[in-house]
Chains A and B, each alone.
Chain A
Amino acid sequence: MRERRIRVLLAKPGLDGHDVGAKVVVQALLDAGFDVTYTGLRQTPEAIAKAAQAINADVIGLSILSGAHVPLCRRIRDLLLEHGLHDKLWLVGGNIPEADRLVLRQLGYRGVFATGSRTQDIVSFIRESMK
């Protein structure tokens, strides 16, 4: 039997409407052979945690370009832990200044991809982390 494909939930939390990057990443992950569920815009932290649990996601990726990444990621971290999703791979991408990257890593987001990141780097990071 073939191994199950890597399952990714890609979410846009909060009010930020910049979705070009998220949709580009969806395409790149699909091309890499992953299954991708894209939530669309304006998801509440609660809805994201529930969706991750419902689809049994291996990877939970957030995309935030408004600058509100720290408060949103903190809230979502709490909910992911509540839902028992601590062992999943958490990623965040967006307009993230250098100083905030460490903060997000400390919150448990193992991959932080600032705007300008290569999609191939995101794919490789997921593959490496899932080994």
Chain B
Amino acid sequence: MSAALTSQTSQGKPRDAADSVRPVVNESGIEIRPLYTAEDVTTSGGFDLSRSGEPPFTRGIHPLMYRQRPWTMRQYTGFANAAETNERFKYLIANGQTGLNVAFDLATQCGYDSDAPEAMGEVGRVGMAIDSLRDFEIAFDGIDLDAITVSLTINGAAAILIAMYLAMAQMRGYDVSRLRGTAQNDILKEFIGRGTWVFPVEPSVKLVADTIEYCAKVAPKYSPVSVCGYHIRESGATPAEEMAYGFSIAKAYADAALARGLDIDDFAGRLSFNFNVFGNLFEQVAKFRAGRRRWAKIILEEYGAKNPASGWLRMIAGGGGFGLTIEQPENNIMRGAYYALIAALGGAQTMALCCYDEAYTIPTPKAQRISLRTMQLLIEEIGLADTVDPLGGSYYVETLTNQMEEKIVEAMGWVDANGGIVRAVAEGIIQQRVSEYAYQRQRAFEAGTLRKVGVNCYTESEEENPNVELHPYDEMGAKAQIDALRHLRSERSNDAVERALRELRADATAGKNVMPALMAAVKAYATVGEMTTAMVDVYGRFREPTRLWRKAA
């Protein structure tokens, strides 16, 4: 539990007069001194004299970082159907965005077709609706997949959507062995927070291993997994725990891939990460620096990788959704700017910002453009791309980096003591811890001990109606999507689909890698719901238990 939420009292004894001022403890539980000197760095583990591009990559994974190439700007985008999303993609690219980060609606994310009863009210709402390869063809029409890298935010249905993306690229004549891109495909974190699981925990991890194995062999430049500390932090974890749980999850996927007979260097360099940026700037920057160092040690020392690039902590950093507020929404524009600053100072490869209106609904084009401009002006006006790791060597940041690494190691030890991450997730141990922290955090907000501008301090005396233009939901669009799906079912070869689904079921039953069968099914225009159902027949569907909570009187 974070000391910052539970107590305002300093743990240690004051070292000098300056320490007797207001005590400050950061969220990860590290006591912050009013002044840092070289002595603090030395006693916390010393200066890290490694250069950027050199293991353990504390200062950055590339020698020149942004001086060579600024971070990729990749706003999370997708709504309604493939055609409208395609239009928005092109708008963002025209405005200088350098990557695409695709949002799918909940039906797609949970493996349902748009006409499934479960999809009621959700088609095209929080992302784009995808039923078949036909939708992917429309969504990426006119976009050069070699010139712009695409990230698919998909987890429960990730194996299907990765197959769809690779199949679409193949059919458009791209050489898949050189194709770059990313899928989120981090199912363990979905069980902790976010909740778009489909299958039970074990077959879910098996499917992640299928995608890693398949991509290592067929699409070695593609990043099949982006491990997300991000959502765990949103759900209720300290910055140190966010890193630690992310690393424990990444190790579980690596172990599953190694069990397939892959070498660590075959895939570790293609594992990527997604981390959050809200909170204290220095704590987050130290988190990224410490995280890079720790991950390099894990892969290069523990796993014995030979290729230094296998130990790169490649990451998208940004978002910060939990930090945004409904109250005084314009303040979210400033928050976004600081979050972008944190990601840049933290050495992120890719950045995406939550938009100022996202505490309400998915963003308007204007809000997305403001986020994009925020990142662009850091590069063009503020000098964030001029030199590598500008905070390196700061007594404060170096000390905090050493201390954060200790906290990360400690939290990973806690996971191991609870049977490892797969078991701890399957038994709900991590979820329990995360929920408790979220409750503490909420209580601290309500008590005013954790300050939030515009929420529990500097509030408006009268509730003013915020002047936010909201993205509207289009009911007719959902209907059109369902019509198109029905039309597809009537015009494709349903025999070919049936055959492909039988193969898929057979491969799943035999415990084989399902990716080749998924590729075939996707190309026959089988739908997301049909392929999911075929796999549910074999793996089952996860159900969250209903539980009675009762406090002893």
Q: Which of A30, A68, A75, A114 has the most CB of B within 10 A?
A: A68
Contact B236 A20 (CB under 8 A): yes
Contact A37 B122 (CB under 8 A): no
Q: Taking the complex as formed, is B194 at the interface, i.e. its CB lies under 8 A from any CB of chain A?
A: yes
Contact B544 A28 (CB under 8 A): no
Tally of B interface residues using CB under 8 Å? 47
Contact A67 B126 (CB under 8 A): yes
* Given A15-B106, A66-B122, also A38-B195 (CB < 8 A): no
Interface string of B358-393 (1 = CB under 8 A from A): 011100000000000000000000000000000000
Residue of A nearest to B455 (CB): A116
CB distance from B2 to the nearest CB of A (A): 16
Please pick, from A38, A42, A71, A75, the residue contacting B110 in the complex, using a CB distance under 8 A.
Answer: A42
CA distance A70 to B436 in the complex (A): 30
CA distance A40 to B195 in the complex (A): 10
Interface string of B456-485 (1 = CB under 8 A from A): 000000000100001001000000000000
For residue A24, which residues in chain B have a CB less than 8 angstroms away from its CB? Answer: 435, 438-439, 442
For residue A18, which residues in chain B have a CB less than 8 angstroms away from its CB? Answer: 194-195
Which residues of chain B from 419 to 468 have any CB-CB distance to chain A below 8 Å in the complex? Answer: 435-436, 438-439, 442-443, 446, 455, 465
Contact B359 A14 (CB under 8 A): no
Contact A14 B549 (CB under 8 A): no
Q: Taking the complex as formed, is A53 at the interface, i.e. its CB lies under 8 A from any CB of chain B?
A: no
CA distance A2 to B8 in the complex (A): 39
Contact B359 A115 (CB under 8 A): yes
Q: Taking the complex as formed, is B118 at the interface, i.e. its CB lies under 8 A from any CB of chain A?
A: yes
Q: Taking the complex as formed, is B503 at the interface, i.e. its CB lies under 8 A from any CB of chain A?
A: no
For residue A30, which residues in chain B have a CB less than 8 angstroms away from its CB? Answer: 549-551
CB distance from A69 to the nearest CB of B (A): 8
Which residues of chain B from 150 to 193 have any CB-CB distance to chain A below 8 Å in the complex? Answer: 190, 193
CB distance from B470 to the nearest CB of A (A): 7
Contact A67 B546 (CB under 8 A): no
For residue A19, which residues in chain B have a CB less than 8 angstroms away from its CB? Answer: 193, 195, 235
Please pick, from A15, A16, A27, A38, the residue contacting B547 in the complex, using a CB distance under 8 A.
Answer: A38
CB distance from B445 to the nearest CB of A (A): 8
Q: Which of A20, A28, A66 has the most CB of B within 10 A?
A: A20
Contact B360 A97 (CB under 8 A): yes
- Chain B contact residues: over half helix, strand or loop, or mixed? loop
Contact A97 B470 (CB under 8 A): yes
Tally of A interface residues using CB under 8 Å? 42
* Given A20-B438, A24-B438, also A15-B548 (CB < 8 A): no
Contact A97 B361 (CB under 8 A): yes
CA distance A98 to B466 in the complex (A): 10
Please pick, from A20, A39, A97, the residue contacting B193 in the complex, using a CB distance under 8 A.
Answer: A20
* Given A37-B547, A38-B546, A40-B546, also A68-B235 (CB < 8 A): no
Contact A41 B544 (CB under 8 A): yes
Q: Taking the complex as formed, is B398 at the interface, i.e. its CB lies under 8 A from any CB of chain A?
A: no
Contact B549 A36 (CB under 8 A): yes
Please pick, from B106, B234, B446, B550, the residue contacting A120 in the complex, using a CB distance under 8 A.
Answer: B446
Contact A15 B107 (CB under 8 A): yes
CA distance A15 to B107 in the complex (A): 7
CB distance from A6 to the nearest CB of B (A): 12
For residue B550, which residues in chain A have a CB less than 8 angstroms away from its CB? Answer: 30, 35-36
CA distance A61 to B539 in the complex (A): 32
Q: Taking the complex as formed, is B289 at the interface, i.e. its CB lies under 8 A from any CB of chain A?
A: no
Please pick, from A17, A51, A68, the residue contacting B121 in the complex, using a CB distance under 8 A.
Answer: A68
For residue A23, which residues in chain B have a CB less than 8 angstroms away from its CB? Answer: 435, 438-439
Contact A37 B121 (CB under 8 A): no
Q: Taking the complex as formed, is A128 at the interface, i.e. its CB lies under 8 A from any CB of chain B?
A: no
* Given A23-B435, A95-B360, also A39-B546 (CB < 8 A): yes
CA distance A27 to B470 in the complex (A): 32
Contact B120 A40 (CB under 8 A): no
Contact B118 A15 (CB under 8 A): yes
Residue of A nearest to B470 (CB): A97
CB distance from A115 to the nearest CB of B (A): 6
Contact A17 B442 (CB under 8 A): no
Additional A-B contact list (14), CB under 8 Å, known A14-B122, A95-B361? A14-B106, A14-B120, A17-B193, A17-B194, A18-B195, A19-B193, A20-B236, A24-B439, A30-B549, A35-B548, A38-B547, A66-B125, A72-B121, A119-B446
Interchain Cβ contacts under 8 Å between A and B, 16 examples: A20-B435, A24-B435, A28-B439, A30-B549, A38-B549, A39-B546, A40-B547, A42-B110, A44-B118, A51-B546, A55-B548, A67-B125, A72-B121, A114-B326, A116-B327, A118-B446
Q: Which residues of A are at the interface with B, using a C-beta cutoff of 8 A?
A: 14-20, 23-24, 26-28, 30-31, 33, 35-42, 44, 51, 55, 66-68, 70-72, 75, 95, 97-98, 114-116, 118-120
9 A-B pairs with the lowest CB-CB distances in the bound complex, closest first: A17-B195, A40-B544, A71-B121, A68-B121, A15-B106, A27-B439, A23-B435, A116-B326, A36-B549
